[in-house]
Every structure is written in C-alpha cells, then in structure tokens.
Structure 1
C-alpha cells in the first residue's frame, strides 16, 4: 500500500483558532497574493500566526534575566506568546488589532519567528523590541545579543513540548524556517512561510523559489508530518493521507512524483 496525500481547505476565516494543549494556534491574518494592473505586478502580504501557551496570561509576562545559552533562551522565550511572521509594514494597524482581539499587547510577545527575510513576512519586527527574534537562522535576544544554536534539517530547535522550529530551505534560500505545533485539536499544525504559497500551488511555487530542489524536499517533509499547513499567502489547509490499493496505476503526488509512503 502506498501513502497518497491530498489536501482540502480548512473552513473558516482569520482569526482562526485551533485550540491545543500545551499550545493553541491562532491564524491572525491570512496572507494573499493577487495580480494587480498590467504586467507582472502583484499585491501581496504574508500570513501572521500566533502560538499561545495554555498557561499564559497577561499577568504572567514577567521577563526573566536573559540567559546566554541558546537552548535555555529559546525555551524561556516560548513561555509567552509567539508570533510567526509579522506581515508587511502596511499591515501594522491590522496586526495590532488582531493581537488585541486575542488579548495580547505587543509587549506581551516574547518570541517572534520570521520564516524568511522577505519584507511581507518581517515588516513589523519593530513593534516587538522586547521579544527574542528568530529570523531565518539568526537568533537574538532583546538588545541585539546573538546566540548560536545549531539548527539544521536533521536538528530542529525544540522550544517546548511538541513545539519545534524546523529548517525548511528553498523559497528564500538555505535559511528558511517553519514552526511545528503538535497536540492541537486538529493534530500537528505547521506554519511554513512560503514553503507553501497556498493550497494548490503545485504549478507556481517553483518560479518564486531561490532553490527549487531544496524546497521540493522541504515540501515533502512538511506533507509527511503536518495535519494542517498554514501557508504564506493563502488559507490554512488540511493534509489527508490515504491508502491506495496495489496493482493500480501509480498516482502522482502533489509535486508530480511517485507517491511517498508516509508511515
């Protein structure tokens, strides 16, 4: 039996809450990319996602002294609200309003993860000077203290129980990252930046990729793990794995290859 993968849209509009324990996921702003005018002009902005620890409340936002070791610093930063991408600077007021709708002030955010360095994904970092920042593979504490951490494709960063940062290179080069949140009501959610632009992007993502070979590998890893994907420029979608009967003509996977067994 081979593992066939298909996807389907996740109903609902932003803000979209996926409850979980110990972390819930809230898609605050849904990214988009739309042709505009003549030629190749596109109006676009990236998705913004909030990861909330179950035990967090505004009264618990006391900051501990900054540690000097990356593993401890990341785990400390993940005790409060975590923002994955910040959209572009033109979305500043929408982002502030979406955070307020969840009872989160900019000063409450303890960690911001930028999946890659494009302006539509990290355009509002200046709203969070008190947060630790993990932008691509660069990790720094407030004030600009940078710490090495050893993130690699075979070595994710563990932030907490079921909460990891993965190296998912391709779209923006070799240093893109994604955030994995296990244990939600919908299973494992992965917030992937532009590893997936949107559901159904199979014929278009290659033209936007700095390293299509690496990104193809990253996409297969994500599809083999995630139950829900939050893409960079579209609505969240489910990943559904089905068994196919033997003796049939091999189906094609999402990226045009023979289907992969997902154990």
Structure 2
C-alpha cells in the first residue's frame, strides 16, 4: 500500500535528467531565488526544461510548424514532433538559454512547442525567440501567428500531448491557470515539471507567501506528490519523491501471531 511521502535530493543529477522510449527530459537552466541587498528584494530566474522526442534529429522540425488544418488534436500532435521547451527563463538570461539549447543541438527555429507554466516574467521572458513554435502559456494554446485553439484542459481533464506526455492544470501559485508537464515511463519513473507549484526542495514553510491561491496550490502539490517520482521545481534542483509502504492491518495481525 502507498504510505507517507517524503522528498529528498536527486543524487547524480546531470543535464540529461531522464529518458523514456519516447522522450528525453533535460534541465537546461536551473532556476534560483535568493535575497538581494537590504529589504525584501529577491533576485530570481525560473527553471528551463527541454523535453526532446527521442526520434527527433537536429534541424528536422524546421519544416513542420504546427497548423490548424486538422483542428486542435492534430495541431497538438504536430507540436510535439519536435523539441518542447517548458518555460523560457527571464529575458536577462537570453544568451544563456540560447547556449544551453545549442549544446543539445537545438536552434530556436527547431522548437515546435513552448509550454509556459504560468505568466510570470522569470518563466516566459523569452517567448519571442520561438516564433515558429506553438505556445501553451497557462491555458492559452496558440499556433504561430496568434491563432488560438480551444482544448478543454481543466483540473479533471489533462491535456494529452503524446504517449506518456501530458499537461496538467495545477492552479495556485500564479492563479487559476497554472500548468505542469508530466512525463511518464522514464528511467526515473514519472517526472513532473511543476513550474512554481514547488519553488524548490524544502519549500514547505515558504511557498504559501508567494501563492495567489494557497488552497488550490496545496491541492495541486498533493496531486503531483501522488504521482511523481521526480519533481522539477521552479527555482531549484530536481528532487525525488519517495513513498513509504504502509502494511495492511491484517498483515500486522499475522506478523503478531507469528511472533507469538
């Protein structure tokens, strides 16, 4: 049976965080948030994560920008054929983002989908680099040129992007329209790129002060901890989720009988 959940650092972390038969998950830039100077000023930038289809080769997606010809479902299927970027960091980190993409053999024109987990500037500050990509920012899905399509995403209905790849509605931090990306079946289990649903490992006593809706965010945190094996937070290193087994009452009774 599933029991209490605890979190712990993910040891041996490299940019290549996890792989599955369909996707590789890489943390291109680790987010941070730290006090700056006197008062309450904070210097921060958001984590940037790349979800790369295993079948993709460099440059192959530049000729397949998503279109609306087949409706939303087809547009989403086309959008995940190439590199998928989850958040873009702030505009002040533009060059660092371009360099990190280049190290993976990805040019801005290769990216076919950018998911913005929420609308804060340190998470979507570089959208302008990806003019050929479809954009899913919070709950708004649009194709290049600004054509917006309906999709039905809500807390009870995830948005299926591909085999083992989903977008969940995870409201709270930035309001009611925050999202997270879920990658199932990887070498580390289920990886959830959570935006600021989790600021960092060990944020239990601090996230509420930054939340627009703490009740909704608590619900989102619990949902993620219920399925994730690894969480990529908005402002820190990825961390592992460990579930401790709880024995059933009848098993404990049997053990007591055996002991006597």
State TM-score, norm by structure 2: 0.91
CA root-mean-square deviation: 1.5
Any gaps of 5 or more consecutive residues in structure 1?
Answer: 248-263
C-alpha distance after superposition, 1:118-173 (max 9, x if no partner): 00000000000000000000000000000011100111110100000000000000
Q: Match of 1:199?
A: 201
For residues 55-134 of structure 1, what are the structure 2 equivalents within 5 Å? 55-61=55-61, 62-63=63-64, 66-68=67-69, 69-134=71-136
Is 1:54 the counterpart of 2:54? The answer is yes
- 8 A contact 2:115–2:136 mirrored in 1: yes
C-alpha distance after superposition, 1:189-233 (max 9, x if no partner): 000100000011000000000000000000000000110000000
* Distance (Å, rounded) in 1 between the aligned partners of 2:42 and 2:16: 25
Task: Provide the aligned length of Structure 1 versus Structure 2.
Answer: 247
Q: Match of 1:19?
A: 19
For residues 140-155 of structure 1, what are the structure 2 equivalents within 5 Å? 140-155=142-157
- 8 A contact 1:14–1:29 mirrored in 2: no
* Distance (Å, rounded) in 2 between the aligned partners of 1:239 and 1:71: 32
Which of the residues 165, 184, 187 maps onto 2:167?
165
- 8 A contact 1:199–1:235 mirrored in 2: yes
> Which structure's residues are more often helix, by fraction?
2
State TM-score, norm by structure 1: 0.90
Kindly indicate whether structure 1 or structure 2 has the higher relative contact order, using CA contacts under 8 Å at least 6 residues apart: 1
Give the number of the structure whose alpha-carbon radius of gyration is greater: 2
- 8 A contact 1:206–1:212 mirrored in 2: yes
